[in-house]
Structure 1
C-alpha cells in the first residue's frame, strides 16, 4: 500500500534527467494496479473473516446465555418442588424423588461441558459413565430422558458425548443388574417437604 501511494514520486525519481518513457510508465502503472487489486481482495477477505468470527462469537454468547437460563430454571425447580409441575409430567417414577433425576441431569451436563471444553478425554468420560450407570437411579434417568432408543451419528464434538453416554448405558444394561439398587432415604423426602412447606 505504501508502494502504491509513493509510486508517482518513485517514477519521477527513476526517470529524472531522462526522457520519460510513457510506455514503461504505463506498464509500471498496470503492475501497481494489479497490486492494488490484490490488496483490495485481501482487505475484503479480512473483513469477511472478521464478520464470520464475530457472528460465531455472538452465536456462542447466545447459546451460553440460553444454557445459563436453563441452569437457573433447573436450580429453581430443585430448590422449590412446586415449580416442577410447570415442566409437565413427572420426570421420575412415582416412587423415586425427582431430586435424584435433576441431580443426574446436572451430572451429565457437567461431563458434557467438560467434554466440550476438552477437560476430559474419552477414556475418562467412559470411566465416569461406567460408574454412573452401575447405579439403578442413573439407569432409570437415562431410560426416560436419553435418546438411546434412536441412535444416530454425532453431528459435532459435543454430540459425540451423547453417543458415548448411549453406548455406556447400553453396555451397562447388557452387563446385568447394577451393583447399587435404588435406595429410599426418608431424609431426602423430608428435606423436599420442608422446602415446599408441606
Structure 2
C-alpha cells in the first residue's frame, strides 16, 4: 500500500479534552453578583441611614466594574462554544477511527473485499493479512502513545521487537514515510518519528532474527469437515 493509502488507517491527531465547568461557575457567579450588587448596596446604605445620592456615586464607579465582568462573561461563553465545537470534532474523529478499524477487519475476514482497496498491500508471496495485522499493531501503539499510556522507552522496546521480524520490515518499507518524513507537528506525529528511527536502526543492525514464514492461505489447504474418505460405495457384511 502506498504511503497516501496508509494514511487512511490513521485518524487525525487529537488533543485532550479540558474541563470548562469551573470557568462556567465563575462566570455565572460574577454575572449574578453584578446583577444583585445595586440591590445589596441599596439595602446596606438604607439601613445605615446614608443619603441615597452616595449610592449614585458608587454606581458610577460600579459601571466600570460591571463592564469588566460582562466582558469576562462574554469571553467565557465564547471559549465554551469553541470547546464544544472541538469536542464534537473529537467525537467525529473517534467514529471515523472505529469505522476504519471495522473496514480493515472486514477485509481481513473476507479477502474478496481487499481488491476494493486498490493495489496489493503486500508483495505477491506475502499474505495481505500480515500487513493488515501489522497496521493494526502500529495503530494500537500510536493510540496508546497519544493517550500517554506508553512512554518513549516502552514504545522503542515494542518497535525494536517489531522490526526484528522480516514481515514488519517489509510492511514499513512499503507503507511508512521513512524516506520522506514530514514535520512532527504534535504528540501523535512524534510516534511516527520513533517508528522511522527504529526501522532504520533495525536495517543498520542487519538481518532480522525472524525470517518470513510461509503459511497455507487457501481454503484447499485446510481439511473439510465430514469429507468422505473414499468414493467407493459402502459395503456391508
In the superposition, the TM-score normalised over structure 2's length comes to 0.74
The reply on whether 1:112 has 2:142 as its aligned counterpart is: yes
| CA offset digits 1:41-71 (Å, max 9, x no partner) | 2211221221122111111101001000101
Q: 1:92 offset after TM fit, Å?
A: 0.1
What do you get for the CA RMSD once the two structures are aligned?
1.8
The reply on whether 1:10 has 2:40 as its aligned counterpart is: no
> Which of the pair is proportionally richer in helix?
1
Q: List runs of 5+ in structure 2 lacking aligned partners.
A: 1-32, 223-237
Larger CA deviation: 2-11 vs 85-94: 2-11
For 1:167, the equivalent position in structure 2 comes to 197
Cα 1:158/1:5, change in 2 over 3 Å: farther
Equivalent residues, number = 188
Q: 1:191 offset after TM fit, Å?
A: 5.5
1-structure distance, mates of 2:57, 2:141: 64
Q: Moved runs in structure 1, 4+ residues, more than 6 A?
A: none
Higher relative contact order, structure no. (Cα contacts within 8 Å, ≥ 6 residues apart)? 2
Cα 1:121/1:154, change in 2 over 3 Å: same
2-structure distance, mates of 1:165, 1:138: 11
The reply on whether 1:75 has 2:105 as its aligned counterpart is: yes
Equivalent of residue 151 in structure 2, options 98, 121, 124: 121
2-structure distance, mates of 1:88, 1:179: 32
In the superposition, the TM-score normalised over structure 1's length comes to 0.88
- Are the counterparts in 1 of residues 45 and 52 from structure 2 also a CA contact under 8 Å? no
For 1:48, the equivalent position in structure 2 comes to 78
For 2:65, the equivalent position in structure 1 comes to 35
Q: 1:180 offset after TM fit, Å?
A: 0.8
Equivalent of residue 101 in structure 1, options 90, 114, 131: 131
For 1:190, the equivalent position in structure 2 comes to 218
Cα 1:193/1:36, change in 2 over 3 Å: farther
- Are the counterparts in 2 of residues 4 and 36 from structure 1 also a CA contact under 8 Å? no
- Are the counterparts in 2 of residues 136 and 180 from structure 1 also a CA contact under 8 Å? yes
1-structure distance, mates of 2:109, 2:190: 31
